[in-house]
Amino acid sequence: MNIGVVTFPGSNCNADAEFAAALDGSTVHRLWHKDTTLPSALDAIILPGGFSYGDYLRTGAIARFSPIMQEVIGFANKGGIVMGICNGFQILTECGLLPGALIRNANLSFVCKDVYLRVENAETSFTRSTTKNSVLRIPIAHGEGRYTAPPEVIDELESDQRVVFRYVTPAGDDAPEANPNGSLHNIAGILNKAGNVMGLMPHPERAADPLNGSTDGLSVFTSIALSRS
């Protein structure tokens, strides 16, 4: 499995994503925001968390115009696997690969803590090593993580089973108190229509090693690897 990890000016989770992606033996390729070509053998691309271009204008708004993003969009449109984590999710909505937008947290504060996610669809390229309704403990760290979209988009995401992860209590209930940022329907991660592009606000790469207190996030990376096995 060959996985590319993009670094933008302001990315700060790229090394973590590279580490997690390599744990199952995948070969990691470092991609730079100014690159205009991709490695020919690439199977998947990760847009990591951070503050691309300082989050000026809006989160992800400038990164969307980086030269590498034209390659990422073309790669995704040809069926390549793309995952955006936190700021990467924001970039994916800005460039149109995913619907909706990520806006300021409902409490207007930066939130950094462990949250619990329920796997809503275990038959995707990002969750196939999990089971439906299983609960994962994974950290978040964001100030603009509130997912929003028009009602018809939310209805479509729900009916098409494109909500991949939902914020829940440790017991697996999608109660209001489990929602750390005010996201509609407690949404934490979604898919595109084709099922090959996913964005999520929590950081699975920060829960991929026992030293971090949880390995629940590793299942996302092993799932990606399984999708090309």
- Cα–Cα dist 72/8, whole Å: 13
Show the beta-strand stretches assigned E in 169-228.
Answer: 187-191, 197-200
* Whether residue 29 lies in the annotated active site: no
* Whether residue 205 lies in the annotated active site: yes
Catalytic residue among 71, 94, 144, 205: 205
Residue 77 Cα distances to 9, 74, 97, angstroms: 25, 5, 9
Q: Parallel, antiparallel, or unpaired: how do β-strands 197-200 and 81-85 relate?
A: parallel
Catalytic residue among 13, 18, 71, 86: 86
* Whether residue 185 lies in the annotated active site: no
- Cα–Cα dist 154/214, whole Å: 30
- Cα–Cα dist 181/73, whole Å: 28
Which active-site residues does the annotation give?
86, 203, 205
